[in-house]
Each structure stands twice: as structure tokens, then as C-alpha cells.
Amino acid sequence: MPAVVVVGTQWGDEGKGKIVDVLTEKADYVVRFQGGNNAGHTLVINQKKYILHLIPSGIFRPQTTCVIGNGVVVDPEVLINEIEKLKKEGLNIDSNKLMISEKAHTIMPYHKALDMARENKAHKNKIGTTCRGIGPCYEDKAARKGFRLIDLTYPDIFKERLKNVLEEKNVILKYLETEPLKFEDIYEKYIEYGKYLKPYLTDVSQVIWQAKKNNKNVLFEGAQGTFLDIDHGTYPYVTSSNTIAGNACCGTGIGPSEIDLVLGIVKAYTTRVGEGPFPTELEDETGNFLRDRGFEYGSTTGRPRRCGWLDLVLVKTAIRLNGINALALTKLDVLSGLDKIKVCIGYEYEGKTIDYLPSTLIEISKLKPIYKELSGWKEDISQIKNFDKLPETTKIYLKTIEDYLKVPLYLISTGPERDNCLIIKNPFQN
């Protein structure tokens, strides 16, 4: 029974949630391993849209256990609201359905205040974060000043440490011209959060270990995308966690030999929210077409997403960084109606052609995409379930992608709904 890691190969919002939802028909566990509620994963089931920020995208499948690993940073208020909202939908979210690592760090009010204050002060140097406190929370984790969820269940120890940490945070907030925060307001609230979440807290490493021993299918659901990775992304325009597949191990407490397949999610074009380089960006009518047709507005912040052609060099780099051995292509339907479609197959850099994304912003700023132009198609492809029934030009588009990347396409998503999907191979089925 396989363990499959699902990761985004671009700058996030590739449609990971949709693909995870499709695959969880056959998954027993769905595990988030990094990021926090900066993520927004959209599922459309029977015309109803759900956006999940912290809860793994397997929650709507009756047999699936959802797990939040130690690598995730949890805003308890957001998580509790998400649980309550799903309960109102009639879902039973008890401690058998949802398990949360006791080691996961908690996002505190000063993390959000700091994130926002820094973004406001930075003006033209801002990152364009989601202002959810993600960066400051990971900073505190690394600085050993963070609070793990389990800490909220020990009121006395929490009290002493919080006083200490808050003193320092208020000095920084003052420097950033932001109101200081009151100890009492935070303490009381977080103790209540601790009580609410306690039944869900567990040792996730043991849960997954046991699941694998019992031959269960485990799916690790990545958040963000490869080029938002803190080490391998377009630094500093990145998020604050490792988003690549290797972090499925650190973020849950399992070893690399436990992973059987890495499935990369590729949007049929490219998008990015927030600041940072984007070699194939289109600031023209075609970019607007992709934004309108693909409804490219952030699931978390509602910001319009920047849009551009599919960058195969970027995806190829992602294949290397993640060890991707299967691909799912999403939003192919969005391209219907275009006369010509371009894909980037190389970069021109200082007179040479390169086929990887360089490490520095200076180098990236000098890249000129080299495009291959393909014919488009006009047909509505959203209901097609058989590869052979796709228009010829669509097949050529797909073949161009596979030939360049040399990794097989397992799934092709042709619409937001669960059943708008052409499954060539299901990683959980032989």
C-alpha cells in the first residue's frame, strides 16, 4: 500500500486540494506536513465549494482520517472555526477523524501583528505575505521561543513563558509602530483553545508508522508550491517552510524510505500571488483571459493572481527538487478558446540557453523565456473521461508536456468539480 506525497510544482494554487480530494476516494490517511492557514485548498463537490485552510482535503471522505503534522503551524482560532463550520455541514469531526500533532507550533496574536506590521512598513520591499503570521511563527520555532499545541494544555508553564516572550514582542511591535498586546487577552483565549484541541492532540509519527504497518494508503498533502520553498524557491519571495516533498518526512516524523511516490501538481499555465519573479508572466489580454477563465483570485486573501504561460523549465526544476515520478495536470479546460498556446521550453541567459531556474534574483531577472507555440482548441473538454476523446490539438499539448518533462501524466483535471477528471492511473490502484 503506497504512501504518496502530493506537491505543487509552481508557486502554489495548482489545484492540489482538488486532486487530493479525487485521490482520497482510495486513501485511508491524508496528512498535512507544512505551512499553515496561508494555504487555501478548494474542493467542489456536487456544485458546492469548500475552501480548506488547515484541515486536510480528505475530510469529506467517510473512511479517511485527516492528520495535521508537526511541521504545520496552527492558528488555533482558525482551526477551531474550520472544525465548527464543517460540523455544521453535518460532518463528524471527532478525534478518530482528525488528529493533530502535539508538537505542531501555534500561531500567536503577535505573529499576525508582526507579519502585518512588517508588510506595511516594507512598502515597496514587501513580500506580499498572506499576513497570517506564518513567517513570525516559524521564526520563533527556530529561535526556540515558540509554543507547541501541547504547551497550551499546561497553563502554569504556558503563563510564565508567555509573559517572557510577550515582553520582547511588544518591544518589536512598538518599533514597528503597532499597538502592544495584552497578556491577559492572549492567555485566557489560548488556554481555552488548548482545552478544545486537547482530545485531537497525538503523536503523529506513531500514527503514520502504525498506519503503514497496517497496510493503509497514506497521502501527504503539500501546501504552497516548490518555488515558495524557503530554501529552493525564489528567496526572499517565498514562504517560511520547506514546501518540497522531502519535508513530508520532517513535518510528520517518518523516514524517506517510507515514501513510495511523489505526485507533482502542474497547472496548465502558471500563476503567482504576491511579489517576486515570474519569467513567463503575461501582463496583457492573454493574462486577463487566464485570470477570468480560471477564476484566478486567491482562495485565502482574494487577491488577483498574476498569470502567465506554462513554464516547463520551472516544472522540470521542480521534478528534480522533489523527486517527482508522476504528474497531475490541472485546469486544462481553462485553455479552451485560445488560438495559440505557448509553453516555455528554455531560458536565454547571457547569450546561452539554460534548462533550469537559477538561484538568485539577479540571474532570474535576466532570463528571457524561449517559447514553443502550439495550436489551441475551442471544444469544451470538461466532461471528457477518455484520453482518446480529447481534441487532437489538446493531445499534442499534453504530449509536448510529457515529452519535455519525461514524467508520466497520471491525472488530468478538466474542471473544478470532483468528477471533472480524467484518470490515466490512480497511484492507489495497481
Options 76, 135, 287, 346; binder of ligand IMO; rule CB under 6 A: 135
Q: Please tell me the distance from the alpha carbon of residue 9 to that of residue 203, in angstroms, as a whole number.
A: 29
Any contact of residue 413 with ligand IMO (CB under 6 A)?
no
CA dihedral 16, 20, 21, 22 (to 10 degrees): 110
- The least CB distance from residue 384 to ligand GDP, in Å, is 12
SS3 9: coil
Which among ligand GDP, ligand IMO, Mg ion, none contacts residue 44 (Cβ within 5 to 8 A by kind)? ligand GDP
CB 255 within 8 A of CB 85: no
Q: Which residue is catalytic, options 13, 28, 151, 333?
A: 13
Q: Please tell me the distance from the alpha carbon of residue 315 to that of residue 321, in angstroms, as a whole number.
A: 10
Amino acid sitting at position 12: G
Catalytic, 41? Answer: yes
∠ CA 424-323-404, rounded to 5°: 60
End-to-end CA distance of the chain: 10
- From the list 141-149, 212-220, 298-306, 352-360, the region that binds Mg ion by CB under 5 A is 298-306
Amino acid sitting at position 82: E
- From the list 9-17, 174-182, 242-250, 351-359, the region that binds Mg ion by CB under 5 A is 9-17
Backbone angles phi, psi at 310, to 5 degrees: -60, 130
- List the x/- string, 317-356, binding to ligand GDP by CB under 6 A: -------------xx-xx----------------------
Q: Please tell me the distance from the alpha carbon of residue 149 to that of residue 166, in angstroms, as a whole number.
A: 17
Scanning residues 3 to 62, which ones bind ligand GDP (CB under 6 A)? 8, 12-18, 40-42, 44
Backbone angles phi, psi at 266, to 5 degrees: -120, 120
Q: Which residue is catalytic, options 21, 28, 41, 115?
A: 41
Q: Which is nearer to Mg ion, 16 or 169 (CB)?
A: 16
Which among ligand IMO, ligand GDP, Mg ion, none contacts residue 9 (Cβ within 5 to 8 A by kind)? none
Any contact of residue 241 with ligand GDP (CB under 6 A)?
no
CB 308 within 8 A of CB 227: no
Q: Please tell me the distance from the alpha carbon of residue 56 to that of residue 65, in angstroms, as a whole number.
A: 9
Any contact of residue 15 with ligand IMO (CB under 6 A)?
no
| Beta-carbon count within 10 A of 84 CB | 11
SS3 100: strand
Q: Which is nearer to Mg ion, 299 or 413 (CB)?
A: 299
Any contact of residue 224 with ligand IMO (CB under 6 A)?
yes
Which among ligand GDP, ligand IMO, Mg ion, none contacts residue 230 (Cβ within 5 to 8 A by kind)? none
Number of residues that bind ligand GDP (CB under 6 A): 24
Q: Which residues contact 346 (CB under 8 A, 6 or more apart)?
A: 313, 353, 354, 355, 369, 370
Options 4, 10, 13, 314; binder of Mg ion; rule CB under 5 A: 13
Any contact of residue 299 with ligand GDP (CB under 6 A)?
yes
Scanning residues 20 to 49, which ones bind Mg ion (CB under 5 A)? 40
Catalytic, 111? Answer: no
Q: Please tell me the distance from the alpha carbon of residue 289 to that of residue 311, in angstroms, as a whole number.
A: 17
Options 34, 70, 178, 299; binder of Mg ion; rule CB under 5 A: 299
Any contact of residue 239 with ligand IMO (CB under 6 A)?
yes
Options 66, 207, 273, 412; binder of ligand IMO; rule CB under 6 A: 273
Q: Please tell me the distance from the alpha carbon of residue 276 to that of residue 296, in angstroms, as a whole number.
A: 17
Cα 284 off chain centre by: 27
Q: Which residues bind ligand IMO (CB under 6 A)?
A: 8, 11-13, 38-41, 127-130, 132, 134-135, 223-225, 228, 239-240, 273-274, 299
Catalog residues that contact ligand GDP under the rule CB under 6 A.
8, 12-18, 40-42, 44, 294-295, 299, 330-331, 333-334, 413-416, 420
Instruction: Kindly list the catalytic residues.
Output: 13, 41
| Residues at the site binding Mg ion, with contacts judged by CB under 5 A | 13, 40, 299
